[in-house]
Amino acid sequence: MKSISIVTLSATVALLSACSSMPQFFGKAAPRESSAEGATPAPSMIAPMVEKRETLVATGYAVISVQNHKNPAQQRLLAIRASKLDAYRALTEQVYGQQLDASTTVADMTVVNDTFRAKVEGVIYGAQLVSITPVSDDTYETTLSLDRTVVQDLRRLYLTQLAMRGR
């Protein structure tokens, strides 16, 4: 249970933090960069994976007992809210992808430090609440769905914003 709460807290913090974005292009050719490293290829396999489905579905979880309140009823409400945010984070991952940063330090042929950081950023609107369900005495599960046409609108909006930043 404690690991679920840590994951939930981490996901909530990642969702709510204001981080810089990394451009991602869905189903469209990426603009060429003039850096010394060369051009950025378009991830052409991303669009077909998502666009085959009529709706995207995401589920989020939150533990009641770890919520920061003394009143049990308030803890339940906070857990419901946290599980909903976790589901939105999962939807955002499906629409925009996830940025991973990893680092490994090796000394004397032994791994000394191995870390990674995951970041999700994007805008979600039009999601339908499918269910909010207690899955045990101490956990809530929230399921959201997002229609494919809304996903296409979100991607168009994202690409428009990227184009505006480039000017």
Asked whether residue 27 is assigned to any structural domain, the reply reads no
Asked whether residue 33 is assigned to any structural domain, the reply reads no
| Rounded Cα–Cα distance for residues 142 and 133 (Å) | 6
Asked whether residue 30 is assigned to any structural domain, the reply reads no
pLDDT of residue 42: 52
pLDDT digits (tens, 9 = 90+) for 121-167: 888 999 999 999 999 999 999 999 999 889 888 888 888 888 888 76
Asked whether residue 64 is assigned to any structural domain, the reply reads yes
Residue 93: is its pLDDT beyond 60? yes
| Rounded Cα–Cα distance for residues 133 and 61 (Å) | 10
pLDDT digits (tens, 9 = 90+) for 21-66: 333 333 333 343 444 444 444 555 455 455 566 899 999 999 999 9
Asked whether residue 29 is assigned to any structural domain, the reply reads no
Asked whether residue 83 is assigned to any structural domain, the reply reads yes
Q: Which domain range does residue 140 map to?
A: 2-18+40-165
| Rounded Cα–Cα distance for residues 80 and 84 (Å) | 6
pLDDT digits (tens, 9 = 90+) for 99-128: 899 999 999 999 999 999 999 988 899 999
Domain total in the chain: 1
Residues 6+ away with beta carbon under 8 Å from 160: none
DSSP-derived 3-state class of residue 100: strand
Residue 90: is its pLDDT beyond 60? yes
| Rounded Cα–Cα distance for residues 51 and 27 (Å) | 9
pLDDT digits (tens, 9 = 90+) for 69-83: 999 999 999 999 999
Asked whether residue 28 is assigned to any structural domain, the reply reads no
